[in-house]
């Protein structure tokens, strides 16, 4: 197995073909491996076998090239696992309604994979989760099936570090952390990832690797929570927090800029910290700092709604009956990923107050199925036109896409609530833009 990985003669399977799994699958195909994608959604294998991408920031030609090379395969049939040398699991790890870890995707996937395992394979989990998950949920099921971990099946954990839409860092040039259950497992994991990644960072255990990913995202969540809290305080003092951040950023050491917004989005920062807080309680530890940051970040849509109400009231308009347009449904700029987007909270909040609410996002023309916002499934982005924009009582910029024509927005709008400092580069009359 090690020889196959090092010589790139092996077969790599990726289970879960979303924002993490698809780039990983294409990376192994490009590296020269037989790369097999497995997903329970038949639409994804169908698209790949037709040479199409279903994720906006992943060009379709990359899929077509992998398919033309003869290295790319895709299926819904888990029986193909018998033919593989390595299996990498890239499935969601959301929170339930009580902000506790939902490992159902991991558990169900492992149970679907285990019956098809054979001795001599590497099994890697990449889903973000709490320390101990690989030992407790993966190893126990592999051993229950009769395999000896470390001599027959080599179990590792390697946290995904995918950043959708990042043009500087993609799947293979981001250092890859990997931990193994045993030294032999770690050796196998290093061989697996060295075959496709520029740098592999081995650590002493799966638990270390699991906590590494949580630390990365908790670091971001806490600092974003801090700057969101400072934004509210600065606003009360009549200070522009964006100017403060620009000034602080000139310090060449000891400061890293984080930016406020309407709330947190994506599948990492709003969710991952709670995996640690939940696990820490098992050890009698109350992670107050992390939970406070989460509380602040979750409160930001409410702050934006209140700022919008104040701005409309200053113009003699109530929220009820006002036409409010949210610009940007995706959780971050220039991608089509709407997972955990704070725009949904804004849509719900304004609608609850009686506003006529809509959204514009060239990257998300129609809302697909979501776990928590099924009421918006099928909703469509408005068409961008002067008539449509002038008909709005208020525009709320919740995501700053490069595709937005901000000059037209400034010309056609009566009131803009800017949560991203997007209008800073556009000349606007006094009072048009309210920062929130």
Confidence of residue 372 (pLDDT cuts 50, 70, 90): confident
Q: Can you tell me the distance from the alpha carbon of 221 to that of 244, in angstroms, rounded to the nearest whole number?
A: 20
Locus of tokens 């009580």: 98
Task: Please compute the mean of the pLDDT values over residues 155-172 and round it to a whole number.
Answer: 87
Confidence of residue 231 (pLDDT cuts 50, 70, 90): very high
- Is 323 in a helix, a strand, or coil? strand
Q: What is the token pair recorded at 408?
A: 């037209």
Taking 90 as the threshold, does the pLDDT of residue 276 lie above it? yes
Supply the DSSP symbol for 260: -
Confidence of residue 374 (pLDDT cuts 50, 70, 90): confident
Respond yes or no: is residue 185 known to be catalytic: no
* 70-102: pLDDT as tens digits: 999 999 999 999 999 999 999 999 988 888 999
CATH of domain 2-206: 3.40.50.720
* 175-191: pLDDT as tens digits: 999 999 999 999 999 99
Residue-level pLDDT at 270: 85
Do 2-206 and 261-435 share a fold?
A: yes
* 151-161: pLDDT as tens digits: 999 999 999 99
Element housing 6 (H / E)? helix 2-6
* 52-75: pLDDT as tens digits: 999 988 999 999 999 999 999 999
Taking 80 as the threshold, does the pLDDT of residue 371 lie above it? no
> What is the pTM (predicted TM-score) of this model?
0.91
- Those residues whose C-beta lies under 8 Å from the C-beta of residue 374, and which sit 6 or more positions away, are none
Residue 427, φ and ψ in degrees, nearest 5: -70, 125
C-alpha atoms less than 13 angstroms from C-alpha of 163 in its C-beta half-sphere: 12
Helices (H), 140-282: 140-144, 183-194, 206-236, 241-248, 272-282
| Pick among 3.20.20.140, 3.40.50.720, 3.30.830.10, 2.60.40.10: CATH of 261-435 | 3.40.50.720
Task: Please compute the mean of the pLDDT values over residues 144-173 and round it to a whole number.
Answer: 91
Confidence of residue 135 (pLDDT cuts 50, 70, 90): very high
Residue-level pLDDT at 212: 97
* 35-46: pLDDT as tens digits: 999 999 999 999
Task: Please compute the mean of the pLDDT values over residues 3-8 and round it to a whole number.
Answer: 94
Task: Please compute the mean of the pLDDT values over residues 193-201 and round it to a whole number.
Answer: 97
Lowest pLDDT segment from 86-95, 216-225, 258-267: 258-267
Sorted by where each begins, the domain ranges of the chain are 2-206, 261-435
Task: Please compute the mean of the pLDDT values over residues 284-306 and round it to a whole number.
Answer: 95
Q: What is the token pair recorded at 76?
A: 């819904």
Active-site residue identified among 90, 185, 206, 268: 268
Task: Please compute the mean of the pLDDT values over residues 125-130 and round it to a whole number.
Answer: 96
Task: Please compute the mean of the pLDDT values over residues 317-330 and round it to a whole number.
Answer: 97
Residue-level pLDDT at 264: 86
Q: Can you tell me the distance from the alpha carbon of 29 to that of 71, in angstroms, rounded to the nearest whole number?
A: 5
């Amino acid at each position: 197995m090690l020889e196959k990985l090092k010589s790139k003669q092996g077969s790599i399977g990726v289970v879960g073909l979303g924002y993490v799994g698809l780039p990983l699958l294409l990376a192994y195909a490009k590296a020269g491996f037989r790369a097999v994608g497995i997903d329970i959604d038949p639409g994804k294998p169908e698209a790949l076998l037709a040479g199409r991408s279903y994720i906006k920031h992943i060009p379709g030609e990359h899929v077509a090239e992998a398919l033309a090379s003869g290295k790319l395969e895709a299926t819904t049939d888990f029986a193909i696992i018998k033919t593989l040398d390595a299996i990498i699991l890239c499935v969601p790890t959301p929170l339930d309604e009580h902000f506790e870890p939902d490992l159902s995707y991991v558990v169900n996937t492992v149970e679907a994979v285990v019956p098809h395992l054979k001795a001599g394979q590497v099994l890697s989990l990449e889903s973000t989760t709490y320390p101990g998950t690989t030992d407790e949920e993966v190893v126990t099921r592999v051993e229950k099936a009769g395999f000896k971990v470390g001599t027959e099946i080599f179990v590792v954990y390697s946290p995904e570090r995918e950043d959708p839409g990042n043009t500087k860092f993609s799947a293979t040039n981001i250092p890859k952390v990997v931990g193994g259950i045993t030294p032999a497992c770690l050796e196998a994991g290093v061989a697996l990832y060295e075959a496709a990644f520029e740098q592999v960072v081995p650590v002493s255990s799966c638990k270390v690797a699991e906590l590494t990913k949580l630390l990365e995202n908790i670091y971001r969540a806490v600092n974003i929570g801090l700057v969101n809290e400072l934004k509210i305080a600065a606003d009360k003092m009549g200070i522009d927090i964006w100017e403060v951040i620009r000034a602080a950023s000139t310090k060449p050491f000891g400061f890293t800029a984080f930016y406020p917004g309407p709330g947190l989005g994506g599948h990492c920062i709003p969710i991952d910290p709670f995996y640690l807080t939940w696990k820490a309680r098992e050890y009698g530890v109350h992670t107050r700092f992390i939970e406070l940051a989460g509380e602040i970040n979750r409160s930001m849509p409410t702050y934006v709604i209140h700022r919008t109400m104040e701005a409309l009231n200053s113009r003699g308009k109530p929220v009820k009956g006002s036409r409010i347009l949210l610009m940007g449904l995706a959780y971050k700029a220039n991608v089509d990923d709407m997972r955990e987007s704070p725009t949904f909270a804004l849509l719900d909040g304004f609608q609850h107050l009686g506003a006529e609410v809509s959204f514009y996002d060239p990257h998300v023309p129609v809302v697909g199925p979501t776990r928590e916002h099924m009421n918006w499934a099928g909703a469509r982005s408005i068409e961008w036109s002067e008539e449509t924009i002038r008909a709005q009582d208020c525009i709320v910029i919740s995501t700053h896409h490069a595709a937005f024509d901000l000059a037209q927005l400034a010309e056609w709008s009566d009131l803009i609530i800017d949560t991203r400092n997007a209008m800073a580069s556009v000349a606007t009359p006094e009072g048009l833009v309210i920062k929130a």
